[in-house]
Amino acid sequence: MDEAQALWLPSPNYFPQRAGHVPRWIIVHGTAGFSSAEEVGYYFQRADVSTHYTIGRDGVIVQSVREHDGAWGNGGITDGHDPWWSRDINPNNVTISIEHVKPHRDNSDELTEVQKETSFRLIQHICERHQIPKRKADASGGITGHRSMDPVLRSFCPGPYPWDELFEFLSSSRQERA
């Protein structure tokens, strides 16, 4: 596994070796249902979808796809997407996807405190492992929500997420290392 303390529930749904691409973005998702990270991990073992990680409301991390492979989590790019996404490259091959368990189908749930802390640390670790910019996404990389590439079908994904707190956390972690 790539993240210490993660529970490994492997999914067969991935793109081996990312077709030669490297991850440049982290995509934040909400599950729009489910009650635990383990439940999502088992679902990814039988459905035609997956993400690299799922974070439960209790802070449990499940890893379903290795970071050197692309997960089947992002679907296609729809009209109105952020300008850096290209239909010429499968977005799954240039992203690492993190689901956050949100029991309501509309992703309206706020993250629990432990879920938020776990999410921030996981994002920090992924950024450091892959030299992904620790900031809001743009054409050169960064962190964004699923709605960035699919504002038509995934306008509600990830739902409420503490973006300002995340970027403040990542900024302070950069200063501590300097």
Query: 10-residue block means of pLDDT along the chain (178 residues)?
Result: 96 96 98 97 97 98 98 93 94 97 97 98 98 98 97 94 98 67
CATH architecture of structural domain 7-177: 3-Layer(aba) Sandwich (3.40)
pLDDT for 18 equals 95
pLDDT for 36 equals 98
Q: CA-to-CA distance for 38 and 34, rounded, in angstroms?
A: 9
pLDDT for 106 equals 96
What's the pTM? Answer: 0.95
User: Within 10 A of 165 (CB to CB), how many other CB atoms are there?
Assistant: 13
Q: What burial class does residue 106 get, using C-beta atoms within 10 Å of its C-beta: 0-12 exposed, 13-18 middle, 19+ buried?
A: exposed
Closest CA relative to residue 92, chosen from 158, 150, 134, 30: 150
pLDDT for 63 equals 98
pLDDT for 176 equals 57
